[in-house]
């Protein structure tokens, strides 16, 4: 949410008083955001950064009425995530990457379904021989925190990926107890936005002709095409779920992705066990072994 504040400051300025936030100004702000080409979902999230503090101010008696109460929200279908085909994935990981940590982070995302913040929060103690323990996520607003649904989970780890992670951990300039995907500061991991930037650069490199490799104009055009297709770092979670969904029941896929409601989380916690994990591990091996033959 901290990243959304910039839109409010740019439109309203830093010296705006609570009593000067009117329904008319808020509607004007909404349409200004929509005019920038932002999705309905993004506009609504930005508006939430106003909804929460204005509601608090109203309950505390700091303002006589809450102008955002009852304000209509935009509706629309969320943008579909694009995912790569297995053939594209093979070609992608055959392409040289400029940063090995970013390449490995993308491999981890593809074969475990972990979120960006969960990947950069990984430490050596989270790597076991055949599994990852997802204990934390990282955000630059909060630092280390619980995973998104508030609970630890265990995901199968393919041997080749485990070896890559062990190698990264041993070569960590901040010591083997630091973040596997280390950054320029000892107490902070690699900036998560670099994972998408590195992915996009590799996608461009695998697509562009050899003679155009250094043509910035053509690189921008190809990069825009990948963006319009909806391929991003989060697409790996969709890739992971899609390629497991036809091999094992959805409940066991969700045990790995952690993509569930609190009610369902409690339900699944009562039924998950080593047998489920073993079935999931077999499905992961089957789903990704062909791709990994070219990737590591």
Give the residue among 188, 167, 203, 197 at the shortest CA–CA distance from 117. Answer: 188
- Least confident interval from 21-25, 68-72, 110-114, 204-208: 68-72
Please, what are the domains in the chain? 2-59 (no CATH), 86-295 (1.10.443.10)
Question: Contact at 8 Å (CB) between 84 and 238?
Answer: no
Question: Contact at 8 Å (CB) between 288 and 243?
Answer: yes
Q: Please tell me the distance from the alpha carbon of residue 78 to that of residue 66, in angstroms, as a whole number.
A: 28
Name the most confidently modeled range: 19-23, 183-187, 262-266.
183-187
Structure tokens at 151: 């609970």
Structure tokens at 189: 């991991």
Q: Average pLDDT of the chain? A: 85
- Least confident interval from 105-119, 161-175, 272-286: 272-286
Residue-level pLDDT at 17: 86
Question: Contact at 8 Å (CB) between 82 and 231?
Answer: yes
Q: Are strands 131-134 and 153-156 parallel, antiparallel or unpaired?
A: antiparallel
Overall average pLDDT of the 57-65 stretch: 92
Residue-level pLDDT at 271: 42
Q: What does the DSSP 8-state code read for residue 81? A: P
Q: Please tell me the distance from the alpha carbon of residue 40 to that of residue 19, in angstroms, as a whole number.
A: 27
| Secondary structure, 3-state, 87-151 | HHHHHHHHCCCCCHHHHHHHHHHHHHCCCHHHHHCCEHHHECCCEEEECCEEECCCEEECCCCCC
From residue 192, give the alpha-carbon distance in Å to each of 139, 186, 233, 244.
8, 15, 10, 25
Supply the angle between the helices 100-112 and 274-295 in degrees, to the nearest 10: 140
Overall average pLDDT of the 162-169 stretch: 94
Task: Report the SS3 class of residue 22.
Answer: coil
Residue-level pLDDT at 282: 85
pLDDT at 267 exceeding the cut of 50: no
Q: What does the DSSP 8-state code read for residue 4? A: G
Residue-level pLDDT at 70: 83
Residue-level pLDDT at 248: 66
């Amino acid at each position: 949410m901290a990243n959304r504040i910039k839109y409010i400051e740019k439109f309203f300025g830093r010296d705006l008083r609570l009593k000067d936030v009117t329904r008319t100004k808020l509607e004007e702000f909404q349409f200004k955001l929509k005019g920038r080409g932002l999705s309905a979902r993004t506009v609504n999230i930005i508006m939430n950064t106003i909804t929460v503090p204005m509601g608090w101010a109203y309950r505390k008696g700091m303002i006589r009425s809450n102008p955002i109460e009852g304000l209509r929200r935009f509706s629309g279908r969320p943008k579909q995530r694009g995912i790569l085909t297995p053939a594209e994935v093979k070609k992608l990981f055959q392409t040289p990457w400029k940063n090995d940590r970013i390449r490995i982070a993308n491999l981890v995302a593809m074969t475990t379904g972990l979120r960006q913040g969960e990947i950069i929060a990984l430490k050596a103690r989270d790597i076991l021989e055949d599994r990852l323990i997802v204990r934390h996520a990282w955000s630059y607003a909060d630092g280390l925190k619980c995973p998104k649904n508030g609970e630890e989970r265990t995901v199968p780890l393919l041997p080749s990926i485990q070896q890559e992670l062990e190698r990264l951990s041993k070569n960590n300039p901040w010591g083997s107890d630091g973040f596997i995907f280390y950054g320029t500061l000892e107490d902070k991991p690699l900036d998560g936005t670099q994972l998408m930037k590195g992915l996009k650069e590799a996608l461009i490199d695998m697509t562009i002709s050899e003679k155009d490799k250094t043509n910035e104009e053509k690189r921008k055009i190809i990069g825009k095409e990948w963006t319009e297709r909806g391929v991003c770092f989060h697409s790996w979670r969709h890739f992971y779920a899609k390629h497991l969904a036809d091999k094992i029941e959805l409940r066991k896929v969700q045990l790995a992705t952690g993509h569930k409601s609190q009610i369902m989380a409690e339900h699944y916690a009562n039924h998950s066990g080593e047998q489920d994990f073993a079935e999931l591990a077999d499905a992961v091996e089957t789903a990704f072994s062909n791709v990994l033959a070219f990737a590591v």
